[in-house]
Structure 1
Amino acid sequence: VEIFHIADTKEAVQALIQKLSSSYDLILTTGGVSVGDYDFIR
């Protein structure tokens, strides 16, 4: 299990998920999720 903290930007979320997807079968996200224009994780 590894824990990562990243900036609350679409670019940061995309970059980290793309990087981790080559090494992990499961990526669990939590926190920083809201409803609206700035909700990048759905």
Structure 2
Amino acid sequence: IVEQHGGSIEVESREGEGSTFTVRLPLSSAKSLSAAAAG
């Protein structure tokens, strides 16, 4: 789902400390938001 929206997932894991998952999704442009609202 993340890739379909042009985003990415990063995982960092350290033994004994845990894991960090970072999900990045691009912000929609104003033009895209206007088209979606009109939609």
Give me the TM-score of the superposition, normalised by structure 2. Answer: 0.29
In our comparison, the structure showing a higher alpha carbon Rg is: 2
Comparing both structures, which one devotes a greater share of its residues to strand?
2
Give me the TM-score of the superposition, normalised by structure 1. Answer: 0.27
